[in-house]
């Protein structure tokens, strides 16, 4: 597919035309931070963002998602995809989406997720500002992002646009694109390479080394106790993670008290009751009773358990968990480095 170029002045009309024809979600400013939100005009779009508060998985897997609608007479699914363009997704978040795509599709295909996923066109964009806690340039480097339909890079004078799929090609019809020159393509490559250099927090280990050593450290209770000492079990690390996808299911009634909805709600494996089962007489059997065991479980999932399926760690290096953690203990660079150095 030919790589295209859009002049800086043509960019706003392109985005506005898209907004006029479909729902467009992209990064916008929210006080001092950024969020993915529906764009009302091209002026809202902030492609210079560093990281958003929540990852874009919320487009397909929202914090509350209806699964089943019921009334006195019937029960039916409520899969209702809205055609959407998701604009300005950083490559580390595309990797996150690739992972949730696989996890929701494998074994039992979950169309409550996949329905909206397939109705969405993703335009990735190169990172312009690096978030303070990000380490995406050094983790899971053997996995390339693949779920986007096009890749957009800002260069002097405009944007280089690389379509990857027919959906990406179709998108370019909304703008005054022309074929990119070799110089423009080279400038885009340079811009993205420079951003990666600025992402300097690093884990200087291969994914295989990390997976092996983290898994082998399972029974080092003293180390996990120390790593998780200040954990409040709040689940903030789960909530902001692009590859966390655990959920609870709850029913709610409508005002008529006969119809209602069964919905899933984001859940967090760090929270106390997550693996708890109620037994006879109301007694609880909590299969991960201590915060250390829950903290460890999350790192096992991210660094070791899912590697075989995903081809690398279930961590994209976005740094959101590090920034969101109340006690500032969730940073994967800290945790993994501690384990690697302790077992060296």
Partner 1 sequence: MSDTHSASPDGEHRGLFVPREAKIIHTSRPTASEKHFTLQLASGEPLKFTPGQILEVGVMGYGEVPIGIASSPTREASFDIVVRTVGRVTTAINEREVGDSLWIRGPLGHGFELEALRGNDVLIVAGGIGLCPTRSLVEYILDRREEFGRFTLFYGARDPLQLLFTEDRVAWRGSADVDYFETVDRADATWSGNVGVITTLFHKTTSITPDTRVVICGPPIMFEFVLRELDVLGVARENIYVDLERRMKCGVGKCGHCQINDKYCCIDGPVFTFAEIHELEEAI
Which listed residue (9, 232, 250, 326) binds partner 1 by CB under 8 A?
Answer: 250
Other Cβ atoms closer than 10 A to 100: 22
Tell me which stretch binds partner 1 (CB under 8 A): 33-41, 136-144, 259-267, 322-330.
259-267
Closest CB 281 distance from partner 1, rounded Å: 8
Nearer Cβ to partner 1 (101/162): 101
Site string for partner 1, 296-325 (x = CB under 8 A): -x--xx--xxx-------------------
Which listed residue (149, 184, 267, 331) binds partner 1 by CB under 8 A?
Answer: 267
Closest CB 291 distance from partner 1, rounded Å: 15
Alpha-carbon distance of 339 to 222, in angstroms, equals 12
Tell me which stretch binds partner 1 (CB under 8 A): 7-15, 91-99, 256-264, 320-328.
256-264
Question: How would DSSP label each residue in 241-262?
Answer: -TT---EEEEEEE-TTSS-EEE
Nearer Cβ to partner 1 (80/179): 80
Pairing state between β 84-89 and 120-125: parallel
The SS3 call for residue 33 is strand
Closest CB 276 distance from partner 1, rounded Å: 7
Site string for partner 1, 4-43 (x = CB under 8 A): ----------------------------------------
Which listed residue (277, 326, 327, 343) binds partner 1 by CB under 8 A?
Answer: 277
Alpha-carbon distance of 58 to 100, in angstroms, equals 11
Closest CB 224 distance from partner 1, rounded Å: 11
Alpha-carbon distance of 198 to 137, in angstroms, equals 9
Question: How would DSSP label each residue in 98-150?
Answer: HHHHHHHHSSS--HHHHHHHHTEEEEEE--SS--TT--TTTSSTTPPP---SE
Instruction: Say if CB 277 and CB 285 are below 8 A apart.
Output: yes
Residue 246 as a binder of partner 1 (CB under 8 A): the answer is yes
Residue 71 bridge partners (DSSP): none
Residue 248 as a binder of partner 1 (CB under 8 A): the answer is yes
* Secondary structure percentages of the chain, helix, strand, coil, to 5: 40, 20, 40
Residue 73 as a binder of partner 1 (CB under 8 A): the answer is no
Residue with tokens 């990064």: 27
Residue 109 as a binder of partner 1 (CB under 8 A): the answer is yes
| Number of residues engaging partner 1 in binding (CB under 8 A) | 53
DSSP state of 181: P
Which listed residue (38, 166, 206, 218) binds partner 1 by CB under 8 A?
Answer: 218
Residue 64 as a binder of partner 1 (CB under 8 A): the answer is no
Alpha-carbon distance of 249 to 111, in angstroms, equals 16
Handedness of CA 318, 321, 327, 329 (dihedral sign): negative
Residue 221 as a binder of partner 1 (CB under 8 A): the answer is no
Site residues, partner 1 (CB under 8 A): 67-68, 70, 75-79, 103-104, 106-112, 114-115, 218-219, 245-251, 253, 260, 262, 264, 267, 269, 274-282, 285, 287-288, 293, 297, 300-301, 304-306
């Amino acid at each position: 597919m030919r790589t295209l170029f859009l002049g800086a002045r043509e960019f706003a009309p392109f985005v506005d035309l898209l907004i006029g024809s479909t729902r467009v979600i992209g990064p916008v400013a929210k006080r001092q931070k950024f969020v993915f939100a529906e764009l009302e005009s091209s002026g809202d779009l902030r492609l210079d963002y560093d990281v958003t508060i929540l990852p874009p998985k919320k487009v397909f897997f929202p914090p509350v998602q209806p699964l089943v609608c019921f009334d006195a007479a019937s029960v039916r699914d409520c899969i209702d995809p809205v055609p959407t363009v998701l604009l300005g997704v950083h490559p580390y978040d595309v990797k996150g989406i690739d992972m949730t795509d696989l996890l929701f599709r494998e074994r039992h295909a979950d169309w409550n997720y996949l329905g909206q996923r397939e109705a969405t066109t993703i335009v990735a964009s190169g990172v312009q500002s690096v978030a303070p806690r990000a380490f995406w340039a050094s983790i899971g480097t053997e996995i390339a992002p693949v779920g986007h339909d096009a890749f957009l890079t800002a260069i002097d004078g405009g944007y280089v646009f690389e379509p990857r799929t027919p959906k990406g090609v179709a998108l370019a019809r909304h703008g005054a694109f022309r074929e990119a020159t070799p110089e423009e393509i080279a400038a885009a490559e340079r811009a993205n390479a420079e951003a990666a250099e600025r992402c300097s927090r690093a884990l200087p280990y291969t994914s295989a080394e990390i997976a092996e050593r983290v898994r082998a450290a399972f029974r080092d209770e003293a180390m996990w106790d120390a790593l998780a000492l200040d954990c409040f079990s709040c689940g903030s690390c789960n909530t902001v993670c692009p590859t966390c996808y655990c959920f609870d299911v709850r029913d709610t009634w409508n005002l008529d008290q006969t119809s209602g909805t069964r919905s899933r709600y984001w859940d967090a494996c760090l929270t106390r009751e997550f693996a708890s089962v109620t037994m006879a007489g109301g007694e609880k059997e909590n299969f991960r009773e201590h915060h250390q065991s829950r903290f460890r479980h999350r790192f096992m999932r991210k660094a070791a358990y899912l590697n075989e399926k995903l081809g690398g760690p279930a961590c994209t290096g976005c740094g959101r968990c590090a920034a969101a953690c109340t006690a500032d203990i969730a940073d994967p660079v800290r945790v993994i480095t501690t384990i690697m150095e302790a077992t060296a």
